[in-house]
Amino acid sequence: MPPTPLQIGAYLLLRPEDVQGTAPRAFYAAVTSASRAKVKVSPLPIGLSDDTIEIPRPIAEDRVVPRGEATGHQSRTWLRAAVWVTSGSTYRYGQVRGYSGNKLHIWTAQGELTVTRRQIVAEVQPIIALALGSETWNKRAWPKSRLLALHSSLTEKITALGDSNASLPTVTEWLDELKAHTAIEHLVDAQVEWVDPASGNIKAFSLLHALRFVIFKANDGHPPPDLLQHLGNSLVDEPQGFRPWINQARTQSDGEYIQHPALTARDFLSSLSDGEESDRDDPPLVRSRPLPQAQAEPAPSGIGRHDHTTQRSANTAPPSSPPGNSVLDGTAEVELIELLRDLRPDLLQLYLRRTTEHGSARLEATRHARPAVVDNNPAPLKRRKRGFYPSADQERVHQVVTSDAHRGKDGEDFMEFLTTSSLPLDFHPGMLNRAYDVGFGSKGLSIRHFGRVGYLDRLRKVASANVDTTDFTLPVPPAPTMTSWVQLHDATSGFLQYCTHVCEPITIQVATSLAKFVLHLQVWNHWLPDELPNLVLWINATLEPYRNAAAQDDTSGLTTRAAALDWFATSNPDLQALLFTTMSERSCN
């Protein structure tokens, strides 16, 4: 029987196992060539990548999907992703394992969830989902900002554990900041399961193996001798010899304990006194300071943006120290965290990382300490008076039009990313306030705001300090005047570059359609240069309904905004009416 016809240009939904696990999740692709045995495809959107993938023809024939799905909402690309989702009054973690219509089926340790796309808060690392998925997280006690801080802390600790050669890292050591909130002992030898990206099969393995694989292979840590050969080839691939080797390593290391000093506020400040701000190598001062065993005091440990690594030291001061120094160390650490948060956020992560590196040994040395008191309802952080705080409506639209890499980010973090990026755009804070939710037209944003600027011009503008780039209460600035096709092409190209950098596929396709259409209009030769302001008004007015459609899509779970791909055409009746009016005014003059 001859193979089923497979046309060039057909759309496929490929899974990780179709490409030998080289992709972490499903993705759409278009067929570029086909033979009797093999098919070559390019991932969507076409043009963003030069990669061409070759797959067996039978697989390609099984993965054909309609064009509307591949160029529309693309919700099925979440298949196999590790996700953080909202479910009622709680947050949960799991893996997307199926779909039906616009709904996604999420496997969690508590059972399967069926959710819409807007219930996904963000994609996370599989190791984070495996560890935190054993619990449900109450939104009142664990708001999104607090869980984001926990993700960051655990990720930083993975790097720190890989850099240390003192001992084999354990699950308890990695999750020690959760001890005061929940029991983690059951995770020490816990068995978990995940879909193998290379085969598509569900595999069971230990959380300990997954953690050490991520630390020493995925993150290129510095493993002890003989460990790598016992780690397998992937996070889910636990060799039979892993557990016996671990048990033997535990036996050999019984009774051996390397004590590390607690990192105090004075140590940290002293380490920076010579201008050293490296987060890779600790100064000798921090490593060499002794901590007598008899002086160990309980170290409260909580979880949150500021308190999860705070170590309070109330040790008896050495004879050579002035009275009260140990107490000052404890209070100074709290004050230091507050100061770094408000004045030097770039140093805050460095301080948290260093306290994390020393925290595990500190907790082991004080394992008989009094129970820590945890505030499950921490006071909210102070809001910056002129910071960026999007409205609920802006946030809804932003979550729809933003790419997976940036979806779920705090608003100010997103703005920090843009203002420090290499995009050749003039990022006025008032303009960014509306670019956050593509607020064109009556919202204040214009395509003219996306005119590209040179690197030197950006430096000169920053140096002039005419605008406070951190004041997001400023209004949208007047858009530059546009009197030539070159300027208009520059603006549509800048908008496309912005969308490619931070937006999801449909928004990128709309920006691409606009850029191509403007080129077509110039060739069409019906508009004079001094009439381009009218065309700009039409472009802004056409992009405004796209933003409104995105807001509706957030509520309905549909992709009505995809219709915008057909709006930028000479057959558009609004454009034809505008051209007729413009030509009439031209003839009158």
Rounded distance between C-alpha atoms, residue 235 and residue 232, angstroms: 8
Of 236-245, 328-337, 533-542, 567-576, the poorest mean pLDDT is in 328-337
H helix intervals, 133-253: 144-163, 171-174, 207-213, 242-253
Q: Which helix (H) or strand (E) holds 192?
A: strand 191-195
* Contact criterion met (CB below 8 Å) for 176 and 160: no
Rounded distance between C-alpha atoms, residue 35 and residue 428, angstroms: 52
The residue ranges of every structural domain in the chain are 11-72, 85-253, 265-365, 392-588
Largest Cα–Cα separation, the chain: 96
Of 184-188, 202-206, 355-359, 407-411, the poorest mean pLDDT is in 355-359
**b/e per residue, 17-26, with b = 16+ CB within 10 A?**
bbbebebebb
- Of 314, 317, 350, the residue nearest 330 (C-alpha): 314
Res 278 pLDDT > 50: no
Residues with Cβ within 8 Å of 585's Cβ and at least 6 positions away in sequence, in order, are none
- Cα torsion through 499, 501, 504, 506, rounded to 10: 40
* ∠ CA 506-510-515, rounded to 5°: 145
3-state SS assignment for residue 414: helix
Tokens of 372: 């820590």
- Model's pTM, two decimal places? 0.45
Local structure of residue 138 (DSSP, 8 states): E
Strand partners, 41: 31, 53
3-state SS assignment for residue 202: strand
Q: How far is CA 302 from CA 90, 311, 357, 465, in A?
A: 20, 10, 16, 41
What's the pLDDT tens digit per position in 507-527? 999 999 999 999 999 888 888
Q: How far is CA 490 from CA 46, 178, 495, 535, 577, in A?
A: 21, 51, 9, 15, 26
Name, of 45-59, 159-173, 250-264, 569-583, the range with top average pLDDT. Answer: 569-583
3-state SS assignment for residue 31: strand
Rounded distance between C-alpha atoms, residue 291 and residue 286, angstroms: 11
What's the pLDDT tens digit per position in 68-125? 888 776 778 888 899 999 988 899 999 999 888 778 899 998 888 899 888 999 999 9
